[in-house]
């Protein structure tokens, strides 16, 4: 029930003048019990990394084992990998192509051999989970708004019932309500036992909901730990061109006036609780 990556390197177009190494000696172990957030500047290698995990890209060097299937081997069972690990691409709505919402959502599970009543049930369950109304089933995805199309695309992956779900910037470009809905869906799938790896630029979201954060920088892993650990490196993250959670910025400001302010408070509630406790404590001292 896990994903193991050992010394994995990926080079695009090796042996040509365009050769570029996008991942360098990646070592990672990810478990189905986890909710992992992945961050990194544009071009750092996040999409390249996640595409390896469901077999779309092959490691140039190193080893990758997904739920017992060794993807470094040429004859690896890719079909099995893709039904175990679901990948929601960046801007997945650009890849819709069927005439109706239900046909689009059914595409993945149908390819896995699911038919008849079970197929119908999966499509409708997935629609419910992503918050699509029943009466949209027969509509054309192309007549829907961007946010609704994103839901259709995510439902198509959810309908395959993956054990591990990877989402590459699933909330990019959505309005706050759309973003909140997608996050709630992912949290729900995780609480029901699905492993999650979510690539995102939204630091406040990741600080709030992930239990592990991985930071990629120029194809290498720079930090890998709890949000508390990772977001204590405010200055280094900013040097990498990354944003940090608002509470981390607040903490840094407070540290200027309270040099002993703890380094590891990264969420608004933690900062507020500490301040309150401290104000009460100071009053007792008078």
Which residues contact ligand ADP by CB under 6 A? 12-13, 20, 22, 40, 42-48
Residue 35: beta bridge partners?
196
Binding partner of residue 221 among ligand ADP, Mg ion, none, CB cut-off 5 to 8 Å per kind: none
For the CB of residue 44, give the shortest distance to ligand ADP in the complex, in Å. 4
In terms of CB distance, is 146 or 241 closer to ligand ADP?
Answer: 241
For the CB of residue 150, give the shortest distance to ligand ADP in the complex, in Å. 18
One-character DSSP codes across 50-93: HHHHTTSS--SEEEEEETTEETTSTT--HHHHHHHEEEE-SSGG
| Per rule CB under 5 A, count of chain residues that contact Mg ion | 2
**In b/e form, how buried is each residue of 142-166, taking b as 16+ CB within 10 angstroms?**
eebeebbbbbbbbbbbbbbbbebbb
Binding partner of residue 200 among Mg ion, ligand ADP, none, CB cut-off 5 to 8 Å per kind: none
In terms of CB distance, is 14 or 68 closer to ligand ADP?
Answer: 14
Structure tokens at 87: 């990948």
Cα distances from 14 to residues 22, 78, 83, in angstroms, run 11, 23, 29
Binding partner of residue 20 among ligand ADP, Mg ion, none, CB cut-off 5 to 8 Å per kind: ligand ADP
In terms of CB distance, is 105 or 216 closer to Mg ion?
Answer: 216
Cα distances from 145 to residues 152, 159, 259, in angstroms, run 11, 21, 49
Return all residues near 14 (Cβ < 8 A) that are at least 6 apart. Answer: 60
For the CB of residue 40, give the shortest distance to Mg ion in the complex, in Å. 9
In terms of CB distance, is 47 or 136 closer to ligand ADP?
Answer: 47
Contact between 83 and Mg ion per CB under 5 A: no
In terms of CB distance, is 48 or 248 closer to Mg ion?
Answer: 48
For the CB of residue 22, give the shortest distance to ligand ADP in the complex, in Å. 3
For the CB of residue 43, give the shortest distance to ligand ADP in the complex, in Å. 4
Return all residues near 162 (Cβ < 8 A) that are at least 6 apart. Answer: 83, 84, 85, 86, 194
CA 123/CA 114 separation, integer angstroms: 11
In terms of CB distance, is 40 or 141 closer to ligand ADP?
Answer: 40
For the CB of residue 220, give the shortest distance to ligand ADP in the complex, in Å. 12
In terms of CB distance, is 216 or 244 closer to Mg ion?
Answer: 216
CA 119/CA 106 separation, integer angstroms: 7
Binding partner of residue 148 among Mg ion, ligand ADP, none, CB cut-off 5 to 8 Å per kind: none
Q: Which of 57, 76, 20 lies closest to 168, judged by CA?
A: 57
C-alpha of 18 from chain center? 29
Which one of residues 47, 84, 194, 248 is an interface residue with Mg ion (CB under 5 A)? 47
Region from 24-32, 41-49, 132-140, 238-246 binding Mg ion, contact rule CB under 5 A: 41-49
For the CB of residue 211, give the shortest distance to Mg ion in the complex, in Å. 22
> Helices 116-130 & 101-111, crossing angle to 10 degrees?
120
* Helix ranges, 138-267 (H): 146-158, 176-191, 203-209, 227-230, 234-239, 246-257
Q: Which residues bind Mg ion (CB under 5 A)?
A: 46-47
């Amino acid at each position: 029930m896990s994903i193991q990556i050992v010394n994995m390197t990926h080079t695009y177009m090796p042996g040509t003048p365009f050769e570029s190494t996008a991942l360098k000696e990646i070592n990672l172990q990810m478990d189905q019990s986890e909710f992992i957030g992945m961050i990194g500047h544009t071009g750092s290698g996040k999409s390249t990394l996640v595409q390896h995990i469901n077999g779309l890209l092959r490691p140039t060097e190193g080893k990758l084992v997904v739920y017992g299937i060794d993807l470094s081997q040429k004859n690896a069972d890719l079909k099995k990998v893709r039904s175990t690990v679901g990948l929601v691409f960046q801007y997945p709505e650009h890849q819709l192509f069927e005439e109706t919402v239900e046909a689009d959502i059914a595409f993945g599970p149908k390819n896995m051999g699911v038919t008849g009543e079970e197929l119908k049930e999966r499509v409708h369950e997935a629609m419910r989970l992503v918050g699509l109304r029943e009466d949209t089933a027969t509509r054309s995805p192309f007549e829907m708004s961007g946010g609704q199309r994103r839901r259709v695309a995510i439902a198509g992956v959810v309908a395959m019932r993956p054990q591990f779900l990877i989402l590459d910037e699933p909330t990019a470009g959505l309005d706050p309500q759309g973003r909140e809905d997608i996050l709630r869906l992912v949290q729900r799938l995780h609480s029901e036992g699905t492993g999650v790896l979510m690539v995102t630029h939204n630091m406040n979201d990741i600080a709030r909901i992930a239990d592990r954060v991985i930071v990629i920088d120029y194809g290498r892993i720079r930090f890998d730990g709890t949000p508390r650990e990772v977001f204590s490196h405010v200055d280094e993250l900013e040097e990498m061109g990354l944003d940090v959670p608002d509470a981390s910025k607040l903490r840094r400001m407070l540290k200027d006036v309270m040099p002993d302010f703890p380094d590891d408070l990264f969420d608004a509630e933690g900062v507020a609780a500490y301040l309150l406790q401290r104000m009460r404590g100071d009053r007792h001292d008078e």
